[in-house]
A and B are shown apart, each in its own frame.
Chain A
Amino acid sequence: MDHILLVSLIVGGAALLSFPLGRYMAWAMDPQSPNRWTTLFCKIGGASDEQDWKRYLVTLLVFNAVMFTVTFAILALQQWLPLNPDGKGALDPTLVFNTAASFTTNTNLQHYSGEVSMSYLSQLAGLMWLQFVSAATGIAALAATARGIAGRASLGNFLIDVQRASFLVLLPVAAVVALLMVFGGMPMTLKGAAEATTLEGAAQTIARGPVAAFLAIKQLGTNGGGFFGPNATHPLENPTFWTNALAMVAIVLIPMACVWMFGRILGRMRHASVIFAVMAVFLLVKITGSVAFESGPTPAFAGLPVSEATGNLEGKELRFGATGGPLWAVLTTATSNGSVGAMHDSLNPLTGLMPMIGMWLNATFGGVGVGMINMFLYIVVAVFVAGMMVGRTPEYLGHRIEAKEVRFAILALFAHAILILGGTALFAGTALGQATVQEAGPHGFSEILYEFSSAAANNGSGFEGLGDGTGAWNIATGIVMLLGRYLPIILPLAIVGSLTAKRRAAESAGTLGVEDATFGTMLALTVVIFGALTFLPAAALGPLAEHFSLP
């Protein structure tokens, strides 16, 4: 009963809040006519040209290169820079590359432990900055995609869009969430670690820092990189049940609102409702599976006199309740967030499959902006397949979907699969991966599979038993994150460019409707067939094999 109550509170609450936020985001990102903010952002960026898809993309990539370079420099020089009260030292060069790539791509895969390795300056000016601007990049890309589909001549201007997303969307919402977290008991200080002498006389060093500010944008921007190594399981990063609940709402809020923003820019809210419903169904199915599988006992305790009233507790916090861990695991991977509220490596095998499915689909709300863009790729494929099935020219909102668009969409979807499965094959088949797993057999395979899924989906969570701090892991996942980020931005923008170059057909009774349950079903089936079935063999070798081999 408490399971259902909590899921309703979090998912229902986020869905309700997402609607007005989506309305606000559409106003902020896509004003009817230039307003004073537009004027201000033109002045700051010094550019206001209306861009086609190629110009938009180039500006986006140049800005992201700046993001990468600035943070690379801050991380590489942290030992000489200020705001380092605990005297954190130099980082390994491959780790600097991996971390800069990870936060630039909105992934936040962490091959380091924050309280051990990072100075406060690295955390704030390097990583937290990227948590804002990488999320803003995703929202900008979605706004541009939507404008193209809406048939506008120009996709807008990237540098204005990225400022709109940073200053008008992310900054105010993050400030509200950060202050609520402060009231919830989260630390926010620039003092170094506290030295304590425990009640029984032992010395304990308690790392702390500017956690509340970092955490708010970490959740809202589907970033997920924790201030502390064990992320939101750390009591100072998530002190109470209520901070945990608020964090879970923050994880899905903006990805949900992005669907409404997309619908408003298109002027097709019924279409957005169908997309939202499809995403919500996938989300709820995964949550049901996760909560049910995780209420089972810890298999290793079979035969021991252990009372497991609330299910498997390894890697979980008591203050979040029995539902907190498995619910968070699904939310954080349905979106490309990747923060963790329980240790995923210690989830029961079938529970652990749920987050993997989330990352494989990567479109059931998905990352801020980019999740909806990924769903657009599935829509292109679904429309094409539906058109073929009924023998009509496939059209999406008056745009003719032809071979070129479908090729790009399939390429983007399969790039995701190839990055995951190819990387997993390489590392599972060689010592690169075999030497780094915590446990041999299917669970070790799952650790490798999860790591590449997380990198390609720009998620950032992990089966953290994996010894992923090696140079090979740093470089391989760094490259996968970059490809997994930019291919699904470049190719959809190219599709939009191709669509807008064609004459738009008037919608007629013969046009495929995209506002009804039939379309929703078609879209859901496309997601299952293209997304999930691709990964079924890998799932069979990892989590399924592990489940069926349990005593």
Chain B
Amino acid sequence: MSDLLSGLRVAAATMALCVGGYTAVVLGVAQAVSPATANGSLIVRDDGTVIGSRLIAQGFTAPGHLWPRPSAVDYDAAGAGGSNLSPANPELATRAEGLIAAYGGASAARPIPAELVTASGAGLDPHVSLEGALFQAPRIAEARGVDVGQVKVLFDRLAFAPGGPFTEGRIVNVLEANLALDSELSGAAPTQ
């Protein structure tokens, strides 16, 4: 019985410090130092409406926009998840064939970068590789009525190496790229 009472006292103390105190300190510092990221890295228009989070993929489908990786949960940021399909599952091939068709085809000479036909773990990966962006540049340029070179230059400017020397290749944030496309290369109406 005394073990139980002592246990309850220690439970209360740990609850107070490890949950109450700890959460309050981390929350306080986060909201004071970096409120933008602490609230989800949201991108907000001047009128206060939220466009999205720069960390969360959106399901772009307009030909003038850069398209993200496929999502097993249709970009549901309130119920994220992956396909969990085994890598030998024929459903993966079926999905890839459908996507290749949607991208207007691919060939051995112009293969589609793998991330454009594979779903990420959470279905919300905000990035594509620079190769994946350049693969889409001709379609984007045509839809916008601009020179493909301009689109490529824009992607190259936005591309970054996520881990410096610890990763190979560069990636592009899809939402940021589309914001840049809309503001800098709005030759034709992009979202129609």
Contact of B102 with A by CB under 8 A: no
Q: With the chains together, A301 CA to B114 CA distance in Å? A: 9
Contact yes or no, B56 A204, CB < 8 A: yes
Interface residues on B, range: 35 or more
Complex interface: stretch among A192-200, A391-399, A527-535: A192-200
Q: With the chains together, A206 CA to B190 CA distance in Å? A: 25
Q: With the chains together, A201 CA to B182 CA distance in Å? A: 14
Q: B119-137 vs A: 1/0 string, CB under 8 Å?
A: 1111111111101000000
Complex interface: stretch among A237-245, A251-259, A274-282: A237-245
Q: With the chains together, A125 CA to B179 CA distance in Å? A: 40
A466 to B, closest residue via Cβ: B84
Q: With the chains together, A439 CA to B169 CA distance in Å? A: 34
Q: A170-197 vs B: 1/0 string, CB under 8 Å?
A: 1100110011001101111111011111
Contact of B90 with A by CB under 8 A: yes
Chain A residues lying within 8 Å of B178, measured Cβ to Cβ, are: 199
Chain A residues lying within 8 Å of B11, measured Cβ to Cβ, are: 63, 66-67, 70, 133
Contact of B127 among A125, A318, A443 (CB under 8 A): A318
With A46-B9, A546-B86 already in contact, the answer to whether A314 and B19 are too (CB < 8 A) is: no
Contact yes or no, A194 B40, CB < 8 A: yes
Contact of B79 with A by CB under 8 A: yes
Q: B96-116 vs A: 1/0 string, CB under 8 Å?
A: 110010000011101111110
Contact yes or no, A206 B108, CB < 8 A: no
Cβ distance B17 to chain A, nearest Cβ, rounded Å: 6
Interface residues on A, range: 35 or more
Cβ distance B50 to chain A, nearest Cβ, rounded Å: 4
With A196-B53, A212-B26 already in contact, the answer to whether A163 and B80 are too (CB < 8 A) is: no
Contact of B8 with A by CB under 8 A: yes
Chain B residues lying within 8 Å of A551, measured Cβ to Cβ, are: 88
Contact of B171 with A by CB under 8 A: yes
With A318-B125, A438-B85 already in contact, the answer to whether A193 and B78 are too (CB < 8 A) is: yes
Contact yes or no, B127 A188, CB < 8 A: no
Chain A, range 202-241, C-beta contacts under 8 Å to B: 202, 204-208, 210, 212-213, 216-217, 228-231, 233-236, 239-241
Contact of A190 among B27, B51, B78, B123 (CB under 8 A): B27
Chain A residues lying within 8 Å of B10, measured Cβ to Cβ, are: 44-45, 63, 159, 162-163
Q: With the chains together, A18 CA to B184 CA distance in Å? A: 50
Contact of A206 among B37, B56, B191 (CB under 8 A): B56
Chain B residues lying within 8 Å of A66, measured Cβ to Cβ, are: 4, 7-8, 11
Contact of B80 among A185, A228, A308, A322 (CB under 8 A): A228
**Top-9 shortest CB links A-B:** A233-B121, A321-B167, A465-B84, A188-B30, A241-B163, A300-B92, A307-B111, A230-B122, A235-B55
Name 11 interchain pairs, CB-CB below 8 A, sorted by A.
A44-B10, A45-B9, A65-B7, A183-B33, A229-B122, A239-B41, A241-B162, A301-B114, A313-B114, A315-B118, A463-B84
Q: Can you name 9 extra interface pairs (CB under 8 A) apart from A196-B50, A318-B115?
A: A67-B11, A183-B34, A188-B31, A189-B38, A300-B91, A315-B119, A320-B163, A345-B84, A345-B86
